[in-house]
Amino acid sequence: MNAISIQNINKHFYDPVEFQVLKDISFDVKKGEFVSIIGKSGSGKSTLLYLLSTMDTKYKGNIAINGTQVTGLSQNELAKFRNEQIGFVFQFHFLLPEFTVLDNVMLPALKLNKKSKDEIEAEAIESLYLLGLKGQELKKASKISGGQQQRVAIARALINSPSIIMGDEPTGNLDSKNTNIVFDVFKELAKERGQTIIAVTHDDEFADNCDRIIELSDGKVISQ
């Protein structure tokens, strides 16, 4: 079973003028694959990723994730699906600034409500340690550095052990040391836990070390 299977995706923007941003895109991603999406700025990478994340539902074509056809599901069903199956890391860290680092990581799991609070806390602390954030747990999310925030966002994306982790330039704001930490974590998740990783990146070295590269140009897949 494919982790992701998309067929004939077309997407238009109508504002300010009609503009086709994605043109008949089809590809599959296997379970446990670590895929990067590359392409020039404006080629439609982020747009594609938001479609895959189920947040953007305005497109033509078909998307199936882990065998579930997500195209056509209601907003509430999609929210539940995201909570269980997808971890998302944004280009800018996007933490909740008033909450502690630990709370930020725990929130998606508290929402999922499948484990006890103590279990969730233990797992959150474990992934924070994994990302080199020992000692930062009880600080407010707004009181740590940008690189640390980005890693907290990654820990948060991992908390529900989602089958797919998506990142829109997850290392875009990180120095090479932090980039390497994040890359290694992703690699390990893919290899050891069988989680599928899809990351949009500008970083050639990062892309080269992935299992597979999908390249976009002007809304079309030019190599995969």
Partner 1 sequence: MNTNQKIAKVHLTSRFRQLLVAILSVSFGISMYIAMNSFMAGVNNIQTEITFTSMSHIKIYNDLSSTITQISPKPKDSNTILMVNNARNIQYTQGIKNADAIKNELLNMSEINGVALQLNEKVFIRNGVSNTSASLTGIETVNENKLFETAKYIIEGDLSELDKRSDGIILGVGLAQTIGVKTGNTISVTTSEGVSKTFKIIGLLESGSKVRDKTSALITIQTARQLFSKNKSYATDILVNTYDYNNARTVAEKVRKLTDYKVESWQEGNEQLVSSSLLRDILAIAVSLTILIVAGFGIYNIMNMTVNEKIKEIAILKAMGFNGKDVIEIFLTQSVAIGLIGGFVGLFLGNVIVQMLDIVPFKIASYNTLPVVYNIKDYILAFSFGTIITLIAGYLPSRKASKVDPVEILRG
Applying CB under 6 A, the residues found at the interface with ligand ADP are 13, 15, 21, 39, 41-47
Which residues are within 8 A (CB) of 199 and not within 5 positions of it... i.e. 6 or more apart? 34, 35, 36, 37, 166, 167, 168, 169, 170, 186, 206, 210
Total number of residues binding Mg ion (CB under 5 A)?
Answer: 1
Q: What DSSP assignment string belongs to 102-166?
A: HHHHHHHHHHHT-S-HHHHHHHHHHHHHHTT-TT-TTSBGGGS-HHHHHHHHHHHHHTT--SEEE
Helix (H, G, I), strand (E, B) or coil at 219: coil
Give CA–CA dist 10/59, Å, rounded. Answer: 6
Residue 170 binds which entry of ligand ADP, Mg ion, partner 1, none, CB below 5-8 Å type-dependent: none
Q: Minimum CB separation from partner 1 for residue 186, in Å?
A: 19
Q: Which residue of 23, 24, 73, 84 would you call a contact of partner 1, by CB under 8 A?
A: 84
Sole binder of partner 1 in the list 21, 27, 64, 99 (CB under 8 A): 99
Per CB under 5 A, the list member of 5, 36, 46, 201 interacting with Mg ion is 46
Distance of CA 223 to the CA centre of its chain: 21
Question: Which of 5, 36, 43, 46 touches partner 1 by CB under 8 A?
Answer: 46
**Closest to Mg ion by CB, 46 or 201:** 46
**Cα(173)–Cα(160) distance, integer angstroms:** 24
CB hemisphere CA count around 196 (13 angstroms) = 20
Partner interacting with residue 122 (select from ligand ADP, Mg ion, partner 1, none; CB below 5-8 Å by kind): none
Q: Among residues 146 and 194, whose Cβ is nearest to Mg ion?
A: 146
Which window, 80-88, 129-137, 184-192, 206-214, contacts partner 1 (CB under 8 A)?
80-88
43 binds Mg ion (CB under 5 A): no
Report helix, strand or coil for 96: coil
In the complex, what is the shortest distance from the CB of residue 149 to ligand ADP, in angstroms, rounded to a whole number? 21
CA distance linking residue 163 with residue 198, whole number of Å? 11
Residue 11 touches which of partner 1, ligand ADP, Mg ion, none (CB < 5 to 8 A by kind)?
none
Residue 75 lies near partner 1 (rule: CB under 8 A): yes
Q: Cβ distance 200 to 36 under 8 Å?
A: yes
Q: Return residues touching Mg ion (CB under 5 A).
A: 46
